[in-house]
Amino acid sequence: MNKFQIATSLIEEHYKDNIVINLSPSYGYRLRCEFGYKNNFYTIYSPSGEIVYLNTFAIARPFIQALMPKLLNQINKSNVLKTKLFQINFRSNRKNRVLVSLIYHKLLDDEIKGLADKIANILDIRINLRSKNNLYSTHCDLLEDDIENLETILYQTDQSFYQPNYFHMPEMVTKAMSFIKDPKDLLELYCGSGTFSLPMRKLFNKIFATENNRQSIRCLNKSIDEQNIKNIFHARLSAEEVSELFAGRVFKRMNGINISDFNFSHVLVDPPRAGLDKDVISLISKFKNIIYISCNYETYERDVKNLKGFTIKNIEIFDQFPNTKHLEIVSLLSRE
């Protein structure tokens, strides 16, 4: 069976209707890519564990594909740039602005910084140089992404999570928004840089968004400030800490936000592949409606089974990662 058959067979115990599967182009879809660097080439590992040498990458966005050999040529003709370089990462926004991170096992001196400035100007890109506890940016290290059909501007850094599929990210958010009926306030766990909470500000009276990653919270705060958003409140809390918050624990990181000031009609969770732990399951079970975004159909099915008294009201699959075993689920669960 392929991944769609496996996923739908697991979910059909909880949802009897047909599940819509949204396919993605197999090439040119990734907005972010990470590579090693060795022997003058980009490197990745094959499924069997062998090193694969590349000078471009077909699943990256076309602008990244075109940039990769040009950047490689600039790096390879400079011993200063090549020496102790071990990783090269790319991030692109929807207007083909690219942030490249060059990661080193050495100190960043003035010479390498000057070379980064020169290459950034030649190739019209932004470059971050990174080594242990050291960062140099040729431009602002935040990359802006204007999602016009969602009327939202998102930000990312090279150390924050960001949905990688150019085609599916806006579609997933739009689909999740279409599931929402009778909204009041929203609690969001694992909010990242605000991919879902920022567009959903137009649906809910107030949103309380939580995330443990400092860089993601920094990006979310930038979006809130730049767009003068008044109804999104946020705190740097893990999902487990949010469970403790609702149990009465006091956190200074709440910065005066009072959880009792919200009237939550929905909770949104977008956890890592490991899914939800028992404390988070216990917390979200207290809400009437759960918007569950999942990147692992096995842990998703396990969590749905543990959410006693809830049924899947709406669900769609998005093939965010074509030609891999991974996919994304967007769903709404409501208490019976």
Residues serving a catalytic function are 295, 328
CA–CA distance, 79 with 53 (Å, rounded to integer): 20
Return the SS3 of 228: coil
Using alpha carbons, select from 151, 139, 160 the residue that is nearest to residue 215.
Answer: 160
CA–CA distance, 274 with 298 (Å, rounded to integer): 9
Q: What sign for the dihedral angle of Cα 239, 242, 247, 253?
A: positive
As a 3-state breakdown, the chain gives helix, strand, coil percent values, each rounded to 5, of: 30, 30, 40
Using alpha carbons, select from 314, 26, 32 the residue that is nearest to residue 193.
Answer: 32
Determine whether 244 is exposed, middle or buried from the number of CB atoms within 10 Å of its CB (0-12, 13-18, 19+): middle
Got the DSSP string for 86-110?
EEEEEEE-TT--EEEEEEESS---H
CA–CA distance, 134 with 129 (Å, rounded to integer): 8
